[in-house]
Chains A and B, each alone.
Chain A
Amino acid sequence: MEKRFKVSYFLNFLGVLAVFFLFVLLFENNAFGRSTQYIKGISTTACYTIIMVASLNLVVGCMGEFSLGHAGFVSVGAYASAIVSNGLTGKGLPDIALFLVALLAGGIAAGLTGVLVGIPALRLRGDYLAIVTIAFAEIIRVLFCNLSITGGGKTMSGIIKLSNFYWSFWIMVVCITVMYMYVRSRFGRTVKAIREDYIAASASGINVTYYKVLTFTVAAFFAGIGGGVYAHYMTAMIPTNFNFMYSAELLSEVIIGGIGSITGSIIGASFLSSLPEMMRQFSQYRMLAYSVVLVLVMIFKPGGIFGAWEFSLIRVYERLTGRKGGWEKSRKKTEGGV
């Protein structure tokens, strides 16, 4: 069983590597001519959006709670990381180290905010989280509009351009991997049990509030990292960027991709963040298009395009070679044996 998983991780890593080199090949050879730089930019946008959407999926899919203020955590991460990188510039740190320190700071700031929001909101049963998170994101926005360190309502500009596609890609891969491992471990199992039935979960010895707050914090942490990549890609931002519409966009990308599917979040975030970019001239219709897609998905595929399904290369491999997983085989054996 362990062996099959390890083979699976290795295959998936090879797959990621292949995708990466495909992009490198395309971009370095100017495959898209004059648009290459532009497409590279869109791909970077896709990378940080994937991080944000996947992190929101931890809350919505894995934990089964609605958060309508994810942009608030993105905002905290974006500003915290920008402040840290501004403060550390010129201290002789290499760019990548500066970037990683700034991102970590953004993630930790957002994670701590997640604890503060999560403890009161997640102790309550019902849909309080949706309301509390909306309020939280609004408070953050107003707060950042009034603090001088965040630009005092004006655009905070001059953030060092540290995000490029290659780094963003690998940061995204690391974030997705960590979240995936979280979901596929005792933590994810516990949180899913709480989602299914919190009374039965506590009667099974699970500290419901603890695991909910923990998961919410992990989600906020990665939203913060996403915000950090965003800030160092945009190099200028204003608190109103992270308004309710931004939270709603992230949430609709989760729902369209598939509630509970990280694969869905990746595909959903990639397409929905890059398509409107490509159709810039129609950008005012962006939310309209989102709504239409959302309604269509709700009608024809209520669980989202991918449902809770996850892509894995080992299954492709096993199907192609006609081999049943060694795992299923060994399971059969233990059954017969006892």
Chain B
Amino acid sequence: MTGTEGTMPVLRAQNLGIQFGGLKAVDSFNMEIGESELVGLIGPNGAGKTTVFNLITGVYKPTEGSFYLNGQSMNGKKTHQIVEAGIARTFQNIRLFKKMSVIDNVKAAMGAKLSYNLFHAVFRTPSYWKQEEELTKRAEELLQIVHLNGKEDYEAGNLPYGEQRRLEIARALATDMKLLLLDEPAAGMNPTETEELLEIINYIRDEFKISVLLIEHDMSLVMKICERISVLDFGTTIAAGTPEEIANHPKVIEAYLGKDDEEVEEDA
């Protein structure tokens, strides 16, 4: 709130890289995301975008480089510690708690808000009821934001595809993050659903004052909403800049846009 923009980036990745065997999936990845910024990360299939997310969330340990959240080093931290520090994500291939109710999916991610211990749980003390009630209220608010109100008691795995993606966003919001990582949130959505999703993303940014890093396949979508874009190809950043700069970048056109038709067919 007090920090002026630019002085302390929410996320700073420095020469981040990882090698799987001989394959450099991500190489010297650099990125700074400021407060309330919406940054896009694009690139052809297999470029290493999801791997960047896995590095930033501690799923993979980087073989080189380091990254910081609000100036605090996240190196060597476990995933749940990184989430506690303020980075939350969604998954490209949806990973919900399928057999649990919609609202329990959200509540499960709110553990940090609950402090009651075993004793309170077993004896159902007033503190148990109070905390659980506040939790339910908060979870309902979050579901409202992603337009899933009224579906609280549905089994998460039974929701239609688009709603499952939105539930993943609500679950990520439940962790109270400063930086939200969205991995192809519009994949498989029709234009109406995508429009609704964009509205939700914009609302979240304004409401929670968070930064967003967005992986997206759909170039036009990224161009429309992102303030800055980085382009990955074979693990290396081939371009970074404003949407206009990216759209006219020769390397991007060669690596990404040139193959666009082919990519679209592949996904269909």
User: Contact residues of A with B, CB < 8 Å?
Assistant: 1-2, 5, 9, 177-178, 181-182, 185-187, 189-190, 192-193, 196-197, 199-208, 331, 334-335, 338
Point out the residues of chain B lying under 8 angstroms from A181, CB to CB: 121-124
Question: Is the pair A335, B129 in contact by a Cβ cutoff of 8 Å?
Answer: no
Chain B residue with the shortest CB-CB distance to A179: B122
- Chain A residues with CB under 8 Å of B257's CB are none
- Asked, given contacts A1-B136, A189-B108, whether A202 binds B121 with beta carbons under 8 Å apart, the answer is no
B96: chain A residues at CB < 8 Å are: 196-197, 200
CB-CB under 8 A from A185, the residues of chain B are: 116, 121, 128, 132
- Tell me the residues in window 41-82 of chain B with beta carbons closer than 8 Å to chain A beta carbons: 57, 59, 78-80
User: Measuring CB to CB, which residues of chain B are less than 8 angstroms from any residue of chain A?
Assistant: 57, 59, 78-80, 83-84, 88-89, 91, 95-100, 104-105, 107-109, 111-112, 114, 116, 118, 121-124, 128-129, 132-133, 136, 140, 144, 149-150, 152, 171-172, 174-175
- Residue in B89, B95, B116, B133 with the greatest tally of chain A CB atoms within 10 Å: B95
Whether the pair A200, B121 counts as a contact (CB closer than 8 A) is no
Q: Please, how many angstroms separate the alpha-carbon atoms of A174 and B17 in the complex?
A: 54
CB pair B95 A197 closer than 8 Å: yes
Q: Are B104's CB and A203's CB within 8 A?
A: no
In contact, A203 and B128 (Cβ under 8 angstroms): no
Is B122 a contact of A192 with CB atoms below 8 Å? no
Q: Which residues of B contact A207 (CB under 8 A)?
A: 78, 80
The smallest beta-carbon distance between A194 and chain B, in angstroms, is 9
- Expressed in whole angstroms, the minimum distance between the Cβ of B13 and any Cβ of chain A is 18
A108 to chain B, nearest CB (A): 14
* A177 contacts across to B, CB distance below 8 A: 122
Interface of A is mostly: helix
Q: Is the CB of A204 within 8 A of B109?
A: yes
Q: Is the CB of A331 within 8 A of B152?
A: yes
Residues on the A chain within 8 Å of B98, using CB: 196-197
- Pair B149/A338 contact, Cβ less than 8 Å: yes
Q: Assess whether A186 is in contact with B95, with CB atoms less than 8 Å apart.
A: no
Q: Give CA–CA (A331, B149) in the complex, Å.
A: 11
Could you say which of B88, B136, B144, B152 contacts A203, with CB atoms under 8 Å apart?
A: B88
Q: A2-B133, A205-B109 are known contacts. Are A196 and B100 too (CB-CB below 8 A)?
A: yes
Closest approach, in angstroms, between the C-beta of A190 and any C-beta of chain B? 6
Given contacts A192-B100, A196-B100, contact A1 B108 (CB under 8 A): no
Partner of B108, one of A2, A5, A190, A334: A190
Closest Cβ of chain B to A35, distance in Å, is 38
Q: Which of B95, B99, B111, B132 has the most CB of A within 10 A?
A: B111
Taking CB atoms, residues of chain A closer than 8 Å to B105 are 193
- Of the listed residues A2, A178, A182, A205, the one surrounded by the most CB atoms of chain B closer than 10 A to its CB is A205
Rounded to whole angstroms, the CA-CA distance of A189 and B135 in the bound complex is 13
* Contact between B107 and A189, CB atoms less than 8 A apart: yes
Known: A205-B88, A205-B112. 5 other contacts (CB 8 A): A186-B121, A197-B95, A204-B172, A205-B80, A205-B111
Query: Chain B residues near A178 (CB, 8 Å)?
Result: 122
